A = this chain, B = another copy of it.
């Protein structure tokens, strides 16, 4: 065995993100698809009650329920807190079978295409991202290293946690094209991990373009917290495109345009994600990073 012994592929962390739910089901029915010689792969349906109900979560967002204090706090006993503790005991770092890599499959109503979300910028992580981009230049890489997701997400249980975030697709909808492209991406990642274990990773130029989280922007709201404006039509579905100071950002219900008032060009992602209204996030702003990996 190589350095990576156990990999977990996770679907249904959010119950209404169907691509992950059905990919998990496919891999459970045909486990050889995700097996590789040098490591073992398990597949996990993270939130079965939310999947059955067709909702994101039952009591609270499971993918914000894995920070260390929550997992240790025995007084937290709602469904997702219990489920987080259970998953931690199955595959977490103190379990009998800790996983080295987690691939957590998500989908979004935003136009993220095929996005690999990375929570750290370690050389291992960036090299994997670079490899994927080399094989498919359409793959986007989003670094949340400054957003805190490395502390509370399900994928934070592994040494190397990755989120596959694909869209746009409505909650509760299976999109066949995205389903197939996500499956191909998973196979490519598993092949890379196999090569890594065997010290046979292809030598590449190792250039990489990725987008690093800077901040979130909320919808304009009134004193009661009610939304006062929508994403401007010119910004809708324009994830990863440059937003310049003075560009249209929101549109009020009366047709008034609200401009982006920042000083520097940014690259918004998760524009108009359905599940983020309640989190008071209209979009996340990122900076674009172009780098060449050393060593």
Interface set of A (CB-CB < 8 Å, partner B): 22, 25-26, 54-55, 109, 168-177, 179-180, 226-227, 230-233, 236, 251, 253-255, 272, 274-275, 277-278
Contact = CB atoms under 8 A, between A and B. Distances in A.
A253 to B, nearest CB: 5
25 contacts: A25-B253, A26-B253, A54-B277, A55-B55, A109-B173, A168-B170, A169-B170, A170-B170, A170-B171, A170-B274, A171-B172, A172-B274, A172-B275, A173-B272, A173-B274, A174-B227, A174-B230, A174-B231, A175-B236, A175-B272, A176-B230, A176-B232, A176-B251, A177-B233, A179-B253
Given A169-B170, A175-B230, 17 more contacts: A22-B230, A109-B170, A109-B172, A109-B173, A170-B171, A170-B274, A171-B171, A171-B172, A171-B274, A172-B275, A174-B230, A175-B272, A176-B232, A176-B233, A176-B236, A176-B251, A179-B230
- Count this chain's copies in the assembly: 2
Nearest to A273: B173
A109 B226 CA distance: 24
A173 B167 CA distance: 14
Secondary structure class of chain A's binding surface, majority of residues: loop
Nearest to A26: B253
A22, A177, A226, A278 — which one has the most chain B CB atoms within 10 A of its CB? A177
Contacts of A54: 277-278
Contact of A231 (B22, B176, B236): B176
A216 to B, nearest CB: 17
Nearest to A29: B253
Contacts of A232: 176
A114 to B, nearest CB: 15
A168 B54 CA distance: 20
Contacts of A274: 170-173
- The listed residue with most B CB atoms (<10 A of its CB), out of A109, A227, A274, is A274
A25 B252 CA distance: 13
Nearest to A226: B25
A222 to B, nearest CB: 11
Contacts of A251: 176
A232 B175 CA distance: 9
A243 to B, nearest CB: 16
A29 to B, nearest CB: 9
A232 B232 CA distance: 31
Contacts of A236: 175-177
A193 B198 CA distance: 74
A112 to B, nearest CB: 13
A239 to B, nearest CB: 14
A236 B255 CA distance: 31
